[in-house]
Each structure stands twice: as C-alpha cells, then as structure tokens.
A and B are shown apart, each in its own frame.
Chain A
Amino acid sequence: MTPTTSSTTSSASSTSAARPEPPGPTGPARGPAAGGASPTSPAPPHTGSRGTRVLGGAALASLALLVLYGLVVSPADAEMADSVRLMYVHVPAATFMYAGCVIATVASAFWLRRRTPGWDALAGAGAEIGLVFAAITLGTGSLWGRPTWGTYWTWDARLTSTALLAAMLLGYLALRRLDVDPGARSSRAAVLGLLLLPNAIVVNRSVEWWRSLHQQSTLVRLDPTIEGDMLVALMLGFLAIGLVFCWLLVHRFRLGWLEHQSERLDLDAALAARRAEAVPPAEGT
C-alpha cells in the first residue's frame, strides 16, 4: 500500500500538526485502543506527516533567511571580524544541544514513572539529536577558535565540558543500542538518562571552576552587547536551528516508535515460530 498523504483524514493530522511533540510520548503509548487515527485511515509509509512538512518548510525558509542574514547582510564584528559569522550557527547549536539533553533527562524521568515505550523513544531521540548538535558545536567552535585564539583546541571551560558531554551522550546511546531484552534496556537507559543532565551540569560547573582558578585572563568571549543586523542574524540562527531541531525530534521520535514496534513484531514472530515448531509433532504422533 502506497497511499499519498493527501488522502488522509484532516482531523487526525491537524492534532498532530498543531502540537507535534506533546501527543508523541503519551499518544502512541496508550495502546491499540487509543489514538486519533482509525485503522481505516492509511498511515504513510514514512515518518512524515502534514505537520512535519509544514515544520520542515518553515525550517528550510528560515535557514535560507539565516544564510542571507548571517553571510551577506550582517556586518563583520569589530573585534572578531568575519569569524563572528560562525557564531550564528555555533551559539544556537550549543543551546539546542542542551535542549536535547533536557528532553532526554525529562523523558527518562517520565519513563520511570509511566513505563510506556513512547517516553523511552523520546529520550533516545533527544539524546541522539543532542549528540548531533554537540558535534556541530564542537566543529564550529574549533573552526572559530583557530582564527580567534590561534588554535583549534584550547582548554577552555566550555569547550572541555562540551566534549565531555558529547562523550556522555555517546555512552548513553551505546547503552541504548545494545541487543538485550528491551525491558531491561529501557530501565537501564532511563536511569542513565536521568543522570545525564545533572552530570552535564556538574561537569560544566567543575570544569569552569577549575579553569577559572588556573588562569586569570578569560579568553575572548562573544560580545554580549550585539545589536542591529548581527542580533537579527543571531535570532534567525536560533529560529532556524530550533525549527530544524523540532523537525528532527519529531521524525526521530517516530523512528524510535517504529523501532520499538518492529522489535516487538520480531519477538512475536519468533515466539510464533517456536510455538509452530513445538505443536505439530505433539499432535502428529
């Protein structure tokens, strides 16, 4: 079956389009009886929906605006010259990296309370997208550091703690990927996910403290009083990167949901196969 999505009922799609995230963790987890879409409305053979298409269009449009403002319209900074243009990507990416961690931790807490697979999928989605944004943050950060500080890497507090956070996210995702009993994996991942944000904060604070004791002079920071077109560019960066983040989160959440379902189907199929192996000889003889 390959239905086009325009044939789907609009009532079911509009609820998920207006608020793509909140119905996610609870909606699918309620069980087969609940859910807006009736079995007769054919689901699309992908993770997209009308809501995500609107979201994706908005993300692409704001990305185009960001390119226009960030690379063309906005002026060069007095101190950092044109390398400030990297900040329009770097700062929003770092912010949404933390947003991904917050989502992972909160969803883990909810999983521990409710034990529904939707929260597990949401935690995984938040952590994975957080790791993607951590990679972007580190990449643009060191590319910015080379012309500004004269080196790709320095033991700056934020740089170091971001690297450690990326390592923690890698570990969390490695634990999630393991091929063990899904229930055990979910509860272990939830405990680790719950610790993710507190760990990130403690690491961040202690590294900040360590560096501030070690060296008095702080390195060049982003000028906090940016204004005019540069402020517009930075705000556009937040908007565009935020929309991309939401779009990725919805898709990754649905993918996680599909992974959960297909794992369950595999288990059912394996059980049916074992049962089929066991029964016929008993009746045949």
Chain B
Amino acid sequence: MWRDAVLVAGRDLRVERRSRVATNQVAPFSLLVLVLFAFALDPDRQLLERVASGLFWAAVLFSALLAIARSAAIDEADGVRDALRLSGLEPGGVFVGKAAAVAVVLLALEVLLGVGVVVLYGVDPAGAGLLALTCVAATLALAATGTLYGALVSGLRVRETLLPLLLLPTLAPVLVGATRAFEAALAGVPADGWPWVGLLSAFAVAYLIAGALAYGSLLEGS
C-alpha cells in the first residue's frame, strides 16, 4: 500500500510540475486573497495584525479548494479512474498518495502565505514550533478531507459548486483549530495552542483512515 501511495503521489506531483497549475494559478490567487482582505478591512496595521491568523487560514482554505479540485480533475480525464481501478493499485494507497501530493502543494502554499502575512500584515512570527506543527496537522486534515470529498464529486457536472458546499462546513473545525493555535503561538502562550493541535491531528488521522477505507468503494461506484 505504501509503495502504491508513493507511486501515485509521484505521479500527481509530476503532473503538477509539468502543468504548473499550483505555481502559476493557485499561488497568485492565494496572495491575491491576502491583498483583498486588506482592501476589505481597514488596512490599518493594528486590525490586520490582530486577525492575521484567521485571514491566513481563510486564505489557505480557499486555495485548498482550488488545489483539491485540481487534484480530483487529474483523475477525470481520459478514463484515469478506470485505469486506476484496473491497475491493481490498492485503493487505500491511491488515496494516501493523492492526499500526500495535495499536502505537499498546500505546505508550499502555506510557506508562501506565511511570508505574505509577515510582509503585508506586519506580523511578528513567534512560537515557530507550534506554528510548524499546526501547519502540518491542519494540512494533513485539509488534504485527507479534500481528497475524499474530491472523489465524491469527481465526474459530476456540478462538481465545482458542490465541492465547496460539502467541504466548507466539514472543515469548520480545522479552520477554528488552526486559527486558535496560531493565535496562541503569536500571542506567546503556546500552552493554549497545543490542545488545538491535538484536535487537528485527530481529525487528520480519522479522515486519512476513513478515506483509505472508503476510496475503493468510490472508485468502483463511478
């Protein structure tokens, strides 16, 4: 299963390297979201700095929607789903691989957005360990949930509109937890943040297991 996961993750990342959708479209979009938040709010530094954690994770969430839709779209063209089903790869491995590829893309985006938040909103980064672990846990949660839901809607005509409707309410705990953990880290009280990291990790693990178990039935059902 792990070998299959590495294979699929390598394929998705290779597709990404050649098409450059994430670098040329999703990354500029996420930076644009940061700029738009500054337009919408008073670009008074105090306010932006105070709500920077929430804005950062909202921007990550919106960009993640694009990255997830892109990851699901890779499998839609040219009967790739059927090929995956017939290839003998384990469905759980395919799921983990796709989620890992999405997670890599999202982590790169988060680094970019982090720099953007520091530069544009004037945030002083503090508590690097907590920040990094929050990013990892939240990204795994986003990637696992997104990959599973992306498979749920893939191939449907209304997938672009249905995916956010399904994903956003489900991801509300991730947004809440990651934002609180970031706020705790930036405020210099990391002790308040660790329980949220625990919640994010539990969410990620639960969804990774659920997705690995359910993916086969979704591939068959298409």
Contacts and interface: CB of A to CB of B under 8 A. Distances in A.
Given A178-B158, A188-B152, A191-B214, A171 B169 contact: yes
Contact of B173 (A168, A180, A183, A202): A202
B98 interface: no
Interface stretch (B71-79, B126-134, B160-168): B160-168
A207 B166 contact: no
B140 to A, nearest CB: 15
Nearest to B164: A171
Contacts of B169: 164-165, 167-168, 171, 199, 203
Contacts, number: 74
Contacts of A112: 217
A175 interface: yes
A253 to B, nearest CB: 22
A186 B218 CA distance: 10
B41 interface: no
Given A175-B153, A192-B152, A206 B221 contact: no
Nearest to A160: B172
Contacts of A78: none
A18 interface: no
B9 to A, nearest CB: 22
A171 B162 contact: yes
Contacts of B170: 168, 195, 199, 203
B210 A195 contact: yes
Given A210-B176, A213-B180, A191 B166 contact: no
B152 A206 contact: no
B119 interface: no
Interface centre among B162, B169, B176, B177 (most CB of A within 10 A): B169
Given A187-B217, A191-B218, A175 B166 contact: yes
A183 B155 CA distance: 14
B162 A206 contact: no
Interface string B185-206: 0000000100000010001001
Tier of interface size on chain A:
20 to 34
B152 to A, nearest CB: 5
Interface in A175-225: 175, 178, 180, 183-184, 186-188, 190-192, 194-195, 198-199, 202-203, 206-207, 209-210, 213
Given A188-B152, A202-B173, A175 B218 contact: no
Contacts of B148: 191
B156 interface: yes
Contacts of A188: 152-153, 218, 221
A199 B155 CA distance: 24
Contacts of B177: 206
Contacts of B152: 175, 188, 191-192
A207 B176 contact: yes
Contact of B162 (A167, A174, A187, A207): A174
B216 to A, nearest CB: 10
Contact of A202 (B156, B168, B203): B203
28 contacts: A112-B217, A165-B169, A170-B165, A171-B162, A171-B169, A175-B166, A178-B158, A184-B221, A184-B222, A187-B218, A187-B220, A188-B152, A188-B218, A188-B221, A190-B217, A191-B214, A191-B217, A192-B166, A195-B210, A199-B170, A202-B173, A202-B203, A203-B173, A206-B176, A207-B173, A209-B199, A210-B176, A210-B180
Given A174-B162, A174-B165, A175-B166, 6 more contacts: A165-B169, A167-B169, A172-B166, A187-B217, A203-B170, A203-B173
Interface of B: 148, 152-153, 155-158, 162, 165-166, 168-170, 172-173, 176-177, 180, 192, 199, 203, 206, 210, 214, 217-218, 220-222
